[in-house]
């Protein structure tokens, strides 16, 4: 989907009113040693995707499913959604990037509260922490929120979105000086793009821009 020009925004969602209750714990024991040490790379696919990725969550977002959501760009949830990394409750720990993403998003104190206790964090609290982009009333409101966000993103330059997503993701772990340099070079790259010229011209002419992603 990341290379499909007909796809502007990707939405990750569960089924039957539930995002996910987590992984198949019983099946984990059938995997040979070192067969699961690369899970963070697999689950990190939304982060590497050049297109915006939205996670739309209802009821439960536990374990590897929550880790997948954490790799998405936007996380929307209903107010009754619970999010958790409960692995410690069965003598394990998150293995698909969850502990490290939570740590970087909310800091050490809250990360330890969530990961070391395995507790289920209500969506409003997770939103207050900065783990969720928005919290809505119910499934119907979630549908509308996802559609509204997707429409907004689809109105923007695909090239600009892909570029700024990469700058933000790479800048998170870089020094401030390196991040400034990364941002500056990306800015210069966009200055030569068709989309920037089109966007500026549309601004001058007070019309809607027609972006091509080039």
Q: How many domains does the chain have?
A: 2
> In sequence order, what E strands does the chain have?
10-13, 53-57, 60-62, 74-78, 82-84, 121-122, 134-136
**Residues 191, 184, 73, 105, Cα dihedral to 10°:** -170
User: Average pLDDT over the chain, rounded to whole?
Assistant: 91
Regarding whether 172 and 129 lie in a shared domain, the answer is no
* Residue 192 is assigned to a structural domain of this protein: yes
Regarding whether 134 and 181 lie in a shared domain, the answer is no
Regarding whether 27 and 133 lie in a shared domain, the answer is yes
Handedness of CA 136, 139, 145, 150 (dihedral sign): positive
Of the candidates 49, 37, 28, the one whose C-alpha atom is nearest the C-alpha of residue 97 is 37
In sequence order, what are the beta bridge partners of 12? 55
The alpha carbons of the chain give a radius of gyration, in whole angstroms, of: 19
User: What is the C-alpha to C-alpha distance for residues 146 and 14, in angstroms, rounded to an integer?
Assistant: 14
Of the candidates 51, 48, 85, the one whose C-alpha atom is nearest the C-alpha of residue 67 is 85
Regarding whether 101 and 58 lie in a shared domain, the answer is yes
What is the domain-level CATH number for residue 120? 3.90.226.10
What is the domain-level CATH number for residue 198? 1.10.12.10
Reported as a single tens digit per residue, the pLDDT across 181-199 is: 999 999 999 999 999 999 9
Query: pTM above the 0.85 mark?
Result: yes
Regarding whether 193 and 106 lie in a shared domain, the answer is no
Predicted confidence at residue 34, as pLDDT, reads: 59
Regarding whether 164 and 66 lie in a shared domain, the answer is no
* Residue 211 is assigned to a structural domain of this protein: no
Regarding whether 111 and 80 lie in a shared domain, the answer is yes
Could you tell me the pLDDT band of residue 33, with boundaries at 50, 70 and 90? low
User: What is the C-alpha to C-alpha distance for residues 167 and 171, in angstroms, rounded to an integer?
Assistant: 6
Reported as a single tens digit per residue, the pLDDT across 49-78 is: 999 999 999 999 999 999 999 999 999 999
Predicted confidence at residue 5, as pLDDT, reads: 80
**What letters, b where the CB count within 10 A reaches 16 and e where it falls short, cover 56-82?**
bbbbbbbbbbbbbbbbbbbbbbbeebb
Which residue, chain included where needed, has tokens 């990341």? 2
Regarding whether 172 and 147 lie in a shared domain, the answer is no
Regarding whether 175 and 145 lie in a shared domain, the answer is no
Domain boundary among 118, 135, 153: 153
Beta carbons within 10 angstroms of residue 123's beta carbon = 25
Regarding whether 171 and 121 lie in a shared domain, the answer is no
- Mean of pLDDT values over 3-28: 82
Predicted confidence at residue 125, as pLDDT, reads: 98
Q: State the residue range of the domain holding 164.
A: 157-205
Instruction: Just list the catalytic residues.
Output: 67, 87
User: What is the C-alpha to C-alpha distance for residues 64 and 83, in angstroms, rounded to an integer?
Assistant: 11
Alpha helices (H) along 130-175: 139-154, 158-171
Regarding whether 106 and 78 lie in a shared domain, the answer is yes
Could you tell me the pLDDT band of residue 29, with boundaries at 50, 70 and 90? low
Reported as a single tens digit per residue, the pLDDT across 136-176 is: 999 999 999 999 999 999 999 999 999 999 999 999 889 99
* Residue 37 is assigned to a structural domain of this protein: yes
Predicted confidence at residue 38, as pLDDT, reads: 74
Regarding whether 179 and 127 lie in a shared domain, the answer is no
- Cβ partners under 8 Å of residue 127, min gap 6: 77, 133, 134, 135
């Amino acid at each position: 989907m990341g290379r499909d020009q007909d796809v502007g925004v990707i939405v990750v969602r569960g089924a039957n009113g539930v995002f996910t209750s987590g992984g198949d714990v019983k099946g984990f024991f059938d995997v040979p040693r070192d067969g699961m040490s690369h899970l963070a790379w697999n689950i990190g696919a939304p982060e590497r995707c050049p297109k915006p990725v939205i996670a739309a969550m209802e009821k439960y977002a536990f374990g590897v499913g929550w880790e997948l959501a954490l790799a998405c760009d936007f996380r929307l949830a209903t107010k009754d959604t619970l999010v958790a990394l409960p692995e410690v409750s069965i003598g394990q720990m998150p293995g698909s990037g969850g502990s490290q993403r939570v740590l970087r998003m909310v800091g050490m104190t809250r990360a330890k509260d969530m990961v070391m206790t395995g507790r289920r964090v209500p969506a409003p609290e997770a939103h207050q922490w900065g783990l969720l982009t928005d919290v809505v009333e119910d499934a119907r409101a979630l549908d509308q929120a996802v559609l509204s966000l997707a429409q907004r993103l689809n109105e923007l330059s695909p090239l600009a979105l892909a570029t700024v997503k990469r700058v933000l993701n790479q800048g998170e772990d870089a020094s401030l000086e390196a991040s400034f340099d990364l941002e500056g070079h990306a800015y210069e790259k966009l200055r030569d793009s068709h989309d920037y010229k089109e966007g500026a011209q549309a601004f001058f002419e007070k019309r809607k821009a027609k972006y091509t992603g080039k």
